[in-house]
A and B are shown apart, each in its own frame.
Chain A
Amino acid sequence: MKPLSCVLSGEKVEIVEIRGGRGLVTKLLNMGFYPGVKIAVVSNNGYGPLIVAKKEIRLGLGFGMAQKIFVKE
């Protein structure tokens, strides 16, 4: 398990756990990003926000948020 912020561009991972404030977790869950979902990291430059993809959805995620989302290969 590692934070999403460490995943390189182009890799595909599965969400395991989302930590952080309740409101934001709820928001992500309802947007379709919940444990068990497979996502692809479209871009991650190592300090700024990331773009992740779940099928047609492209989500911009602040780096701080990405540090709180834990994923596995």
Chain B
Amino acid sequence: MKKKIKIALAGNPNSGKTTVFNNLTGARQHVGNWPGVTVEKKEGSFFYEGREFDIIDLPGIYSLTSHSLDEKVARDFLLEEKPDVVVVIIDASNLERNLYLAVQLLELEVNLVLSLNMIDLVKKKGMKIDMEELSRVMNIPVIETIANKGKGMDELKAAIKSSCNQEKAVTFKIDYNNDIEKEVEKLSQVLKEKKILENYSRRWLVLKLLEQDENILEKVKKLEDKDEVTNKITETITKLEKHFGYDLETAIVQRRYAFLRGLVKECCTHVVGIKERKEITDKIDQIVTNKFLGIPIFLGLMWASFQLVFTLGSPLADLIDAFFGWVGEIISLGLTALSAPGWISSLLVDGIIGGVGSVLVFLPNILLLFLIISVLEGSGYMARAAFIMDRVMHAMGLHGKSFIPMMLGFGCNIPGIMAARTLESEKDRILTILVNPLMSCAARLPIYTLFAGVFFARHQGLVVFSLYFMGIVLAIVVARIFKSIFFKQEIAPLIMELPPYRLPQVKSVLIHMWEKGSLFLKKAGTIIFAGVIIIWVLASLPPGVEYAAKESLIGKLGSLIAPLFSLAGFGTWQAAVSLLFGIVAKEIVVGTLGTLYGVEGIGLKSVILQQFTPLSAYAFMAMSLIYVPCIAAIATIKKETNWKWTALAVGYSLILGWIVAVLIYQIGSLFI
């Protein structure tokens, strides 16, 4: 049996790896125009000419030295899992820096295929790359691709196939000049004699040791008779540094880049002479990152987004609402006519339509929210938001880059928590994870939409905006406090590439929106559905009790916790159980209220109008925003940290939520 062939996709951040991966496998992994979209390895497969290829999409890296968790995932895979072929996805419009990684992979002696991606941008710049020359010098296949248009994929597959049949024949070598080369030779001999770490290319290993790569040094230090080698290395480094007058790592990097500069000069020609024109990206940045305008523009964009979500979304939501009301009526009329037992009608109308329906109503709002997020992600603004907020975040003990996980949290906290992997410092990463649940995710949107729609119909956008904003402010305050308790050291400074602005593609934005929308529908059909059924059952038991009465099981359960919330103005048992079950998934807060209140066609909205005041509604929304992350988010926090931090995340949010809700209600009561 032929063994499966393992292909890895490597490359600089934002060079189009995931776009290529999606093209080859038909998957729909997350693509976005900022560095660090992919933070874990993703597997897929494709068939080509009768053979199956396993392909792994990796996080972006600049070199084989890792600085953060996501980079470590990529590095470890490339070093330890020994893929049969590595496809290096190159952003051809930035050839020199992208080839830097490719060259290091060649030094590692892996089978490479080069995909010169973003060729469209190269052409636009009036440049031409001589592929034959590049392929000749580096001695590897080079394929032109335009991944976001799906161009060049067949050629890429063919190149992968023929490359994995080939014997590795390394003929490529950068000349690091005599001084360094001589020492590399000597050290190689030592490693050879001692048979040290023989599963890596020796030349690569020596270079990495001379660059003082911590991970590799660590490996050597674990060996038994390491002293001679480590001494030799230190000796060599000292000797060479004396010779250069500065550190050896810099010298090695300089020479690698010097080689690449020569290569790029040879391979690239300007077809049309371009004047030094100011790039459009710089022009936009001049405004968007301006010291006075930056933050107001960001807030303005956020505010406009919510206006859009509501002014466009709510009328559509009302239509769906009316539709469900109508279906409910027909069903109960029909069932009465058939003289079906009352509980069937109750299950269908109160439980399923009242519960699941009341959540599904908000599909238009959620689709619009994801539409906006997806446009922001594709445009390149995401990295700018982090850049603008760096200063503010710094003052509060966070990192500018922490803002990207926070923005992603507006969609869903789980990718937000994962995205914290891009932070270089472990402490920054944990802090970023801890506050992420305060970013209001899409699952909480139905709660706001429902309550703001009922109580603040004319200022819906503004009220919801205030909640999102409250989330950001609280996150910053909480971070500040945790920072001073748990992580007193300095924050690692920001180093982040700002990608060129791009017009998001209509097709990919719509696909992304639909992906998220269908996830929401799936959730409605599974976990929300199950939650609602459980609530309906608990509301109908013990037998003989009036449906959703205080004496039902759920009424008793709710009455136990309800007093906790009376200070916050929503001490009803229904509100209490909705929050309790909302921990399973935040949409269930509305689902529960729909199941319990949606009785006898009065409609959820009118019951809420009686049960809450505008003030207690606002306190309830704040509570829903802050209290306890949903189960899936808790599990992700656990996966990315440990039990201690997870317990802290759950504990502090519960207490904070309660305090904020009570403060809102009590202080508000003084004025109203």
Contacts and interface: CB of A to CB of B under 8 A. Distances in A.
Chain A complexes with chain B: yes
Given A58-B497, A60-B383, A51 B289 contact: yes
B246 A35 contact: yes
A26 B494 contact: no
A46 to B, nearest CB: 8
A71 to B, nearest CB: 15
Contacts of B282: 42, 53, 58
A29 interface: yes
A21 B425 CA distance: 12
B336 interface: no
Contacts of B498: 51, 58-60
B94 A57 contact: yes
Q: Name the interface size band of chain A.
A: 35 or more
A17 B246 CA distance: 9
B424 A23 contact: yes
B129 to A, nearest CB: 14
DSSP class of A's interface residues: helix, strand, loop or mixed?
mixed
A22 B390 CA distance: 22
Nearest to B212: A22
Interface in B236-261: 246, 249-250, 253-254, 257
Interface in B484-501: 492-500
A56 B95 CA distance: 9
A27 B289 contact: no
A62 B493 contact: yes
A62 B497 contact: no
A62 B494 contact: yes
Contacts of B93: 56
A65 interface: yes
Interface stretch (B46-54, B59-67, B161-169, B174-182): B59-67
A34 B7 CA distance: 32
A48 B253 CA distance: 29
B390 A49 contact: yes
Interface string B316-335: 00000000000000000000
A64 B493 contact: yes
A30 B62 contact: yes
A58 B400 contact: no
A24 interface: yes
> A20, A31, A56: which has the most chain B beta carbons within 10 Å?
A56
B448 interface: no
B394 interface: yes
Contacts of B94: 55-57
Nearest to A64: B493
Interface string A14-42: 00010011111011111110111000001
Interface residues on B, range: 35 or more
B57 interface: no
Contacts of A61: 493-495
A65 to B, nearest CB: 4
Nearest to A23: B67
Contacts of B221: none
Given A26-B249, A27-B495, A42-B285, A48 B424 contact: no
A60 B400 contact: yes
Interface in B355-393: 383, 386-387, 390-391
B493 A34 contact: no
A59 to B, nearest CB: 6
Nearest to A47: B391
Nearest to A56: B94
Contacts of B254: 34-36
Interface string B435-458: 000000000000000000000000
Contacts of B65: 26, 30
Contacts of B212: 22
B523 interface: no
B507 interface: no
Contact of A31 (B62, B249, B390, B424): B62
B493 A24 contact: yes
A42 to B, nearest CB: 6
B72 to A, nearest CB: 12
Nearest to A53: B282
A29 B285 contact: no
B234 to A, nearest CB: 15
Nearest to A48: B391
B493 A57 contact: no
Given A55-B94, A60-B390, A62-B390, A34 B257 contact: yes
A22 B499 CA distance: 25
A63 B65 CA distance: 24
A43 B424 CA distance: 24
A30 B254 CA distance: 9
A55 B96 CA distance: 10
Contacts of B291: 45, 47-48
Contacts of A59: 495-498
A57 B391 CA distance: 22
Contacts of B63: 30
Contacts of B253: 29-30, 34
A51 B285 contact: yes
Contacts of A28: 495
Given A49-B400, A62-B493, A27 B286 contact: no
B203 interface: no
Contacts of A48: 291, 390-391
A38 B407 CA distance: 34
Given A31-B97, A49-B391, A58 B285 contact: yes
Contact of A62 (B96, B281, B394): B394
Instruction: Please give me the 7 A-B residue pairs with the lowest Cβ-Cβ distance, nearest first.
Output: A62-B494, A62-B493, A65-B493, A30-B63, A45-B291, A48-B391, A58-B498
Given A24-B67, A27-B424, A57-B94, 16 more contacts: A23-B67, A26-B65, A27-B67, A30-B65, A36-B254, A48-B390, A49-B391, A55-B96, A58-B281, A58-B285, A58-B499, A60-B497, A60-B498, A62-B400, A62-B495, A65-B493
28 contacts: A21-B492, A22-B212, A24-B67, A26-B67, A26-B249, A29-B249, A29-B250, A30-B62, A30-B253, A42-B285, A43-B285, A43-B289, A45-B290, A45-B291, A48-B291, A48-B390, A51-B285, A51-B289, A56-B93, A58-B282, A58-B499, A58-B500, A59-B495, A60-B494, A60-B496, A60-B497, A63-B391, A64-B493
